[in-house]
Amino acid sequence: MEPNNKEDKKTILIVDDEKPIVDILVYNLQKEGYDTLEANDGVTAVDIAINQKPDLILLDIMLPKMDGLTVCKKIRHTLNVPILMLTAKDEEIDKILGLELGADDYITKPFSVRELMARIKANLRKADLSGNVDANEEENESNTNKIKVGELTLDLDKFEAKIGNEVIDLTVREFEVLKFLANQPGQVVTRETLLEKVWGYEYYGDIRTVDVTIRRIREKIEKDTSTPKLLITKRGIGYYIAANK
């Protein structure tokens, strides 16, 4: 359902130094019922994001004064809103989805407006769902708020993951991937299913996003990433969490 009144309206911050792109995005986003904010350089972007607290940020990588990756890092210290990176460099995916940055997604220029709108809606929908889940869990304290598979424990109230007694620092998206897999240990989940259920994409999205995120999670939870014991690849199909032996 599209935002149709002031209360439901979501605000999107567009950060890009190319005026034609900003104009196209403003026009299409406002047509879809969103409010928009604009920044043409990285320093202004951080300032607007922290003061205005938008619901989602479209963030170009190549920016004057401060590049998009640094902007993402700085915003993440204060805000937990979806950040969708715009990039002309396809090979930047690894940095964009880097653990230290916390970007939720990326799209490569030139992009179709239709695809971008689908990504925006999916990210906003996931953010809303996460917010509702958090609120419900605060009201309903119960032992179902922890998932334990072998050495891995996920605390759904705290959004905290542990291997044994060690707390693992995960981004929200990484936590969601682990949670989805840990809810069905031993069951292989395709990359397409992960893209749909965790990222919220039914028809759009880059499968490599899943692979990079899985690799990042492994770097944090596996002792040896070349022979993973917990987060396993089923070649040609997808991924699964090893069930308790």
23 with 92, same domain: the answer is: yes
Residue 236 CB neighbours (<10 A): 6
CA distance 156 to 54: 25
Locate 50 and state its tokens: 């922290």
Whole-prediction pTM value? Answer: 0.65
CATH of the domain at 102: 3.40.50.2300
Output the DSSP codes for 89-106.
-GGGHHHHT-TTT---EE
Residue 69 lies in a domain: yes
125 and 145 both lie in a single domain: no
- Whether 3 is covered by a domain: the verdict is no
Ramachandran angles phi, psi of 173, nearest 5°? -65, -40
Written as tens digits, the pLDDT of the chain (245 aa) is 444 444 578 999 999 999 999 999 999 999 999 999 999 999 999 999 999 999 999 999 889 998 888 888 888 878 888 888 888 766 566 666 654 566 777 888 888 888 888 888 888 887 776 655 444 444 444 445 888 888 889 988 777 888 888 888 887 788 889 999 999 999 999 998 988 888 776 656 677 788 888 988 998 888 888 888 889 999 888 999 998 65
Are the beta carbons of 106 and 98 closer than 8 angstroms? no
For residues 148 and 169, state if they share a domain: yes
| Total structural domains within the chain | 2
- Which residue range is the domain that position 78 belongs to? 11-130
Same domain, 34 and 96: yes
